[in-house]
Amino acid sequence: MITFEHVTKRYPDGTVAVEDLDLVCPTGQITVFVGPSGCGKTTSLRMINRLLEPTSGRVLVDGEDIRQRNAAELRRGMGYVIQQAGLFPHRTVLDNVATVPLLLGTPKREARRRAAEQLERVGLPAALEKRYPYQLSGGQQQRVGVARALAADPPIMLMDEPFSAVDPVVRGELQQEFLRLQDDIGKTIVFVTHDVDEAVKLGDQIAVFATGGHLVQVDTPERLLAAPADDFVASFLGGDRGIRRLTFLASDRVGLDSADVVERPEALGPLREAGRRWALLVDADRCPVAWVPTDSGGDGRPVERTFNPAADSLRVALDSALLSPAGRGVGVDDDGRVLGTAAHADILRAVTDEVARTGRPRAGALS
Amino acid sequence: MSWDWIGSHGPLIGSLLGEHLYLSVVPVVLGLVIALPVGIVCARYRRLYGPVLAATSILYAIPSLALFVFLIGITGLRNETVLIPLTLYTLSVLVRNVVDGMRSVPEPVRDAATGMGFGPLRRLVQVELPVAIPLVVAGVRVATVSNISMVSIGSLLGFGGLGQLFTTYGIQLNFFTTAIIVGVVLSVALAVAADALLVGLQRLLTPWAPR
């Protein structure tokens, strides 16, 4: 657990980078510091590993004032990942990753063995071990940066815009892998970003900073989207706040109807008579094939998106319905077999119910 | 060209070549030993760099012959009279390159090193200096080649390595062109060989540099 107690950082020229910050970053969770540039989020992060010292106030790690600790030793116990990766250009990938274990006095062979393990863990092929950083792509460099921070298995990870410098596709991959990794390792992570979507995607808890170093709101992503503390937070969160909130609501209570699911075209007649214009054709395994019109005129339409009530959010369910010519979302099980379909209206009713029922946020974002 | 002269003066030419090498390499080594700490300090305390740079530039601007003549009064007619000015010239080239080398360390690299728990000394030795090598070696190459050409001037004092072939054995012997040609060819060959050796050394030291 990392605790900020009345932390202020003021520079000699009078600029206040962080003002009276009180914040707790819980053990085993991802706390995201988000805000516009110049809001003090990076300054706050750098006070955790004493790259900067507070002008007043204290930073505690597990209750202990970090000023009691030798700065270099303190830092070796905290993984540190930065935007440009900051890999050592003169060391191979493997030796870059082995850096902190070597600083801690681990014998070279053992340090390299652990480094190789970490590289595998972040999804880098062993063939890259002997390469130098200039021979890697931006995404690979960031992965090495993460592996390097993890190599000595520190309980705390400090990450300063680690995925900001790579293209959006790679960023998405890195974020997914990062969440999967965190599921395994459960580190106490402080993650700085200026990207609200990234904050919502990754954070267990989000701290929103405003220009001038004020902490404006600390909340779970769901609550932040549902109830921004003020206009600044609301405008910073941007548009589609309501829609994005659906990401935090499970779709497992959406009522599914299998009346319009057919295996053979002969079954279309009764459906037409029942007033349904579209039917969902499935194969022998009940996997979706296409939406077909019941009046046998016109072509079928592809099933563009399905949702799995056991795993996906209401956002996915609603998207599935909006993309279907029938206006119905297609629910499938883990193996992709159709469970039934639901109309927009049913899904929106589930949204209302879910908001009323939970009223409280979930632990993290669903897909 | 008098090939006979070359054949009969082999040992003389060899010893002049040896002296030439000695007089040009020793100042590079001394210059590097002094330039490294000076450059490191200048890179860290930027305010020092201006005055230091001005001082070394002024040194560099003093005509070498004037400096030699001035030093004769202090050190007399010895090797050192040639070594000292060349060391000073080397210094003015190398201080600049050491500072540039230290500044070539990308800020994120320095930040990452500190953030991972490198102390200042360890960071200097294990990260900053290795990353500065390409620019430092570039300076060493310039200094070495320019020293090899400048040593000849020392021949006016009797310590000029191959330069003696221009003065003592060339001009003073009725413009004996063979000696002069041998001196020029060997000086150039020495410079080219030394530079090639340093390029090889750099590749060996920096397998990590993109090329």
pLDDT tens track for A240-288 = 888 888 888 889 989 999 888 998 877 888 888 888 889 999 999 999 9
CA atoms within 13 A on the CB side of A195: 15
Q: What pLDDT shows up at residue B119?
A: 94
Q: What is the DSSP letter of B124?
A: I
Q: How, if at all, do strands A261-262 and A278-282 pair?
A: parallel
Query: Given an 8 Å threshold on Cβ–Cβ distance, is A134 in contact with B210?
Result: yes
H or E, element range at B174: none
pLDDT digits (tens, 9 = 90+) for A48-100: 999 999 999 999 999 999 999 999 999 999 999 999 999 999 999 999 999 99
Q: Which of A75, A88, A134 sits opposite B115 (nearest CB)?
A: A75
Cα A248 from Cα A252, distance rounded (Å): 12
Cβ–Cβ contact A158 with B under 8 A: yes
Residue A278 burial (CB count, 10 A): 22
Cβ–Cβ contact A83 with B under 8 A: yes
Query: Given an 8 Å threshold on Cβ–Cβ distance, is A84 in contact with B130?
Result: no
ipTM surpasses 0.90? no
pLDDT higher than threshold 50 for residue B98:
yes
Interface probe for B, chosen from A83, A87, A90 (most Cβ of B below 10 Å), is A90
Q: Which of B106, B116, B127 sits opposite A76 (nearest CB)?
A: B116
- For A70, name the nearest residue in chain B, comparing CA atoms only: B117
Query: Given an 8 Å threshold on Cβ–Cβ distance, is B109 in contact with A75?
Result: no
Closest CA of chain B from A72, distance in Å: 4
Partners of A76 on chain B (C-beta within 8 Å) are 116-117
CA atoms within 13 A on the CB side of B178: 11
Q: What pLDDT shows up at residue B2?
A: 77
Cβ–Cβ contact A90 with B under 8 A: yes
Query: Given an 8 Å threshold on Cβ–Cβ distance, is B116 in contact with A148?
Result: yes
pLDDT band at residue B183 using 50, 70 and 90 as cut-offs: confident
pLDDT higher than threshold 60 for residue A111:
yes
| Residue corresponding to tokens 């909130």 | A245
Which of A221-230, A234-243, B100-109, B163-172 is predicted least confidently?
Answer: B163-172
Q: What is the DSSP letter of A235?
A: H
Q: What pLDDT shows up at residue A58?
A: 96
pLDDT band at residue B211 using 50, 70 and 90 as cut-offs: confident
Cβ–Cβ contact B210 with A under 8 A: yes
pLDDT above 70: percentage of residues in chain A: 97
Partners of B109 on chain A (C-beta within 8 Å) are 86-89
Residues whose CB is less than 8 angstroms from the CB of residue B133 and which lie 6 or more positions away in sequence, other chains included: A90, B101, B202, B205, B206
Q: Which of A72, A84, A89 sits opposite B117 (nearest CB)?
A: A72
Cβ–Cβ contact B121 with A under 8 A: no
Closest CA of chain B from A174, distance in Å: 20
Q: Which of A84, A85, A88 sits opposite B127 (nearest CB)?
A: A88
pLDDT higher than threshold 50 for residue B24:
yes
Which of A119-123, A274-278, A296-300 is predicted least confidently?
Answer: A296-300
Average of per-residue pLDDT values in chain B: 88
Partners of B210 on chain A (C-beta within 8 Å) are 134
Cα A225 from Cα A346, distance rounded (Å): 23
Residues 42-71, chain B, touching A (beta carbon < 8 A): none
Three-state SS for A250?
strand
Query: Given an 8 Å threshold on Cβ–Cβ distance, is B207 in contact with A132?
Result: yes
Q: Which of B115, B117, B131 sits opposite A89 (nearest CB)?
A: B131
Q: What is the mean pLDDT of residues B10-14?
A: 82
Query: Given an 8 Å threshold on Cβ–Cβ distance, is B115 in contact with A89?
Result: no
| Helices (H), ranges, chain A | 41-48, 71-76, 93-97, 99-103, 108-121, 138-150, 168-185, 196-202, 221-226, 231-237, 241-245, 268-273, 314-322, 344-358
CA atoms within 13 A on the CB side of A337: 5
Q: How far is residue A121 CA from its own chain's centroid?
A: 18
Closest CA of chain A from B32, distance in Å: 21
pLDDT higher than threshold 60 for residue A360:
no
Q: What pLDDT shows up at residue A367?
A: 57
CA dist list (Å): A254 to A247, A345, A352: 15, 10, 11
Cα B211 from Cα B198, distance rounded (Å): 16
Residues whose CB is less than 8 angstroms from the CB of residue A231 and which lie 6 or more positions away in sequence, other chains included: none
Answer whether A279's CB lies under 8 Å from A267's CB. Answer: yes
Closest CA of chain A from B54, distance in Å: 31
pLDDT band at residue B13 using 50, 70 and 90 as cut-offs: confident
pLDDT higher than threshold 50 for residue A362:
no
pLDDT band at residue A297 using 50, 70 and 90 as cut-offs: low
Q: Which of B109, B119, B208 sits opposite A132 (nearest CB)?
A: B208
Average of per-residue pLDDT values in chain A: 91
